[in-house]
Amino acid sequence: MSAPRFGEVLTAMVTPFGKDGAVDLDAARKLSSHLVANGSDGLVVCGTTGESPTLSHDEKIDLFKAVVSEVGGNASIIAGTGSYDTSESIALTREAGELGVDACLVVTPYYSRPPQNGLVAHFTAIADASPVPLVLYDIPGRTGRRIERPTMIELAGHERIVADKDAVGDAGETALLRAELDAAGCGDFEIYSGDDPLLLPHLAAGAVGIISVCSHLVGRQIKQIMSAWNDGKVEEAQRIYSELLPLMKTIMGLTASPIPVKAATNMLGIDVGEPRLPLVPPTEQESGAIRKALEDAGLL
C-alpha cells in the first residue's frame, strides 16, 4: 500500500491570538514547527479548529504565508479555504494555491444547507478553478448538510478532488463509502478520519490517516498508532488508542472545539491565546476537567 499523499497524521492547527485578539503570526510559526517535530506529517491551517469563521480573508492569507514559510519544505500544508460562499471559496483557494500550499480543505457550505446537486455544483466550481488538489470536509454536525455517498463518489471523479475528511461520526458509513468508491474505480481517492475518538474504527473502515485535533497534545502517540496499524501490530495500535481515548473524549467532547484543545495547549506551555468570540475560554470546572485529563494521560 502506498503512503497517503499528504501524510498519515495531519494536525488541524489552532490559530494563536495575542492578548489584543489579533492573529499572532510568530506564535503560529512556532506552533507549526512544534507540531511537525512531534508527529505531524502535515498541517491544516484555518480549518474549523483554526476558528476560520472568525478570520478575515487577509488574516487567512497571512497565516498561509507564515506556515508555508516556516515548515512548507518539511510537511504538507493544507489551507482551509471553503465557506458557504462559493465565489469567496474560489478566490481564497486560488490565492492559497499561489502561495505554495499542497492542497485546500473545502467544507460543506454551512447554514445555507444546499441540496446534493448544489453541493456538486459548489465543489466542482472550486475544483475547476483550483491550482491544487482539494480535500472535501464532510461534517454534518456543524454544517447541517451531509455529502451523501453518491454525491461523494460523483465528486471523486474530478481530477482535483482527491480526499475526504470524514467527520460524519459513523465508521460503518465510512466503510460503505470506501467500498463504493472502490467499486466505482476511485481507489486512489483517500479518506481521512476527522474525529480523534474514532481513529481506530476509521482505520478499520479504510481511512488512510487522520486530520487530528488531539495531535497538538499527543502527536507522537497518534503517529505510533498509525505505525503499529500499518505494520500489522493491531493489538499494539489498540493498546495505545485505548490509553489515549479518555483524553480524546475530553478534548473533543467537553465543550465546543477548539476551546478545550486551546486550553490544553496553553497548559502544556505552548501559548496560543484564547478563542475569539463567539467562542470563550473554558469555565473553571471545564479547565479542571481538561487539566485532569492531561494529568491522567501523563502529560502534566
What is the length of the chain? 300
Q: Is 187 exposed, middle or buried (0-12, 13-18, 19+ CB in 10 A)?
A: exposed
Instruction: Provide long-range contacts, Cβ within 8 A and 24+ apart, for 225-233.
Output: 225/199, 225/200, 226/8, 226/9, 229/200, 229/203, 230/1, 230/8
Active-site choice (137, 192, 241, 262)? 137
The answer to whether residue 65 is catalytic is no
Grid coordinates of 278: 463567539
**How big is the CA angle at 277 (ends 274 and 281), to the nearest 5 degrees?**
40
Instruction: Determine the Cα–Cα distance for residues 171 and 168; give it in Å rounded to an integer.
Output: 8
Active-site choice (60, 165, 223, 262)? 165
The answer to whether residue 223 is catalytic is no
Cα-Cα end-to-end distance for the chain = 37
Instruction: Determine the Cα–Cα distance for residues 17 and 82; give it in Å rounded to an integer.
Output: 21
3-state secondary structure of 149: helix
- Which residues, 6+ apart, have CB-to-CB distance to 283 below 8 Å? none
Residues with a known catalytic role? 137, 165
